[in-house]
Amino acid sequence: MNDIRMYETMRWFGPHDATGLKDIRQAGCKGVVTALHEIPVGDAWTVEEIKKRKSLIEAEGMTWTVVESLPVSEDIKRQAGAYKTHIENYKKSLENLSACGLKVITYNFMPVLDWVRTDISYTMPTGAKALYFERLAFVAFDVFMLKRPDAVNDYTSVEIKQAEQWLAASSGQIKQQVFQNALLGLPGTMGRFTPEEVLAALKGYHEINAEKLRKHLIYFLQEIIPVAEKAGLKMAIHPDDPPYPVLGLPRIVSSEKDLNDILETVPSQANGLCYCTGSLGVRADNDLIGIIKRFGEHIHFLHLRNIRKDDTGNFYESDHLDGDADMFGIVRELLLLMKRRNISLPMRPDHGHQMLDDLRKTTYPGYSAIGRLKALAELRGLQHGLVKTL
């Protein structure tokens, strides 16, 4: 086969990131995945600000062609407040990004919380730190710490009882850590929501179920996909993390059926997917290799990470080549996909263990440098071996 390989990138959160551009370049990356995190959600990204960020990256010998993420405001998701203005600003951002040479725009449609973990420093047998989601801890947080109205209706009586037992057996420090971790803000920030902010945000979704949220997503796509098409951009929606309802909020990008509905309802090559093996892999009913085979023409960006899960809803971020996902089979299928499409898909090693010197640094959860370098090296080696045999 032609020697087509993934275009290796790493996520960078901007000038304040503990992992610098020189670090990413030394890891062997050709590109950087980033966003203008400082611009308020709902505002338009200007050409001036985009070029300023792009020039920093190019000065270090790398490129910026993938945005992660151009956030969708809560007003757009709820179709309330200033949502029409925000959609127009989103369109303007797309046009400006295209004018500056960007190619792929990642986004998600998760209400309120972008992602959820109960432990951001779960100790592995090696002493490295990983991200972990413990379902009973989250039930305890939701019902007894956050005290979300009607939360008890979303869990079984057995789960409520077990959450009470977890609460009674946990130290004050552990309970405080779970409370803080569950309220973490958007990636790229070290801020946390307050309980009052989360409860207020949840009220805005009181009348919005999965069906209505899906309609809002389709409306949004019908508005922005024609703009993306004209601008030569590829939109890549990120799956829900975790891929099931959280805090009573609907999740609509969690299963293969969800992906199919999104792609079929707004048919366009510009309407595509961010293929995340970690988020999709939390659900045992998601066929990760089958998804590549069935939706490969619409995969525009790759997040490769691995997880270990159990049948009670717990999962943690494992080593990239040692988890429930068949990374050998996944990378092999992606190489075959890229050969068929004659394209090098951008990929980043998603998340990584905090390890070695990074244990003494303050880093964004999942985004320490050395753990991601290890993941990239492993994925690069796997890819290199497969390319030589296909």
Instruction: Answer whether 77's CB lies under 8 Å from 111's CB.
Output: yes
- The question of whether 351 is a catalytic residue gets the answer yes
CA gap 327, 304 in Å, rounded: 8
Q: Which of 86, 300, 351, 353 is catalytic?
A: 351
- The question of whether 240 is a catalytic residue gets the answer no
Sign (positive or negative) of CA dihedral 192, 57, 55, 64? negative
In angstroms, the first-to-last Cα distance of the chain is 6
Q: Which of 240, 258, 350, 358 is catalytic?
A: 350
User: CA torsion angle for 72, 229, 102, 342 (degrees, to 10)?
Assistant: 120
Question: Using N-to-C axis directions, what is the helix angle for 327-341 and 288-295, rounded to 10°?
Answer: 10
CA angle 333, 282, 353 (to 5 degrees): 85
Instruction: Answer whether 367's CB lies under 8 Å from 11's CB.
Output: yes
Give how far the C-alpha of residue 219 lies from the chain's centroid of Cα atoms, to the nearest Å. Answer: 22
Give how far the C-alpha of residue 386 lies from the chain's centroid of Cα atoms, to the nearest Å. Answer: 26
At position 328, the amino acid (one-letter code) is: F
Tell me which residue has tokens 């990636």: 187
Closest to 368 (Cα-Cα) out of 20, 113, 7, 2: 20
Closest to 120 (Cα-Cα) out of 174, 60, 53, 66: 174
Coil, helix or strand for 4? Answer: coil
- The question of whether 100 is a catalytic residue gets the answer no
Structure tokens at 102: 């960007």
Q: Which of 90, 107, 205, 367 is catalytic?
A: 367
Q: Which of 86, 303, 320, 353 is catalytic?
A: 303
Q: Which of 7, 276, 300, 319 is catalytic?
A: 276
- The question of whether 303 is a catalytic residue gets the answer yes
Q: Which of 238, 300, 320, 353 is catalytic?
A: 238
- The question of whether 238 is a catalytic residue gets the answer yes
Instruction: Answer whether 328's CB lies under 8 Å from 302's CB.
Output: no
Cβ burial of 106 (10 Å; 0-12, 13-18, 19+) is buried
- The question of whether 276 is a catalytic residue gets the answer yes
Buried-exposed string 342-366: b where 16+ CB fall within 10 A, e elsewhere? eeebbbbbbbbbbbeebeeeebbbb
CA gap 286, 290 in Å, rounded: 8
Positions annotated as catalytic residues are 238, 276, 303, 350-351, 367
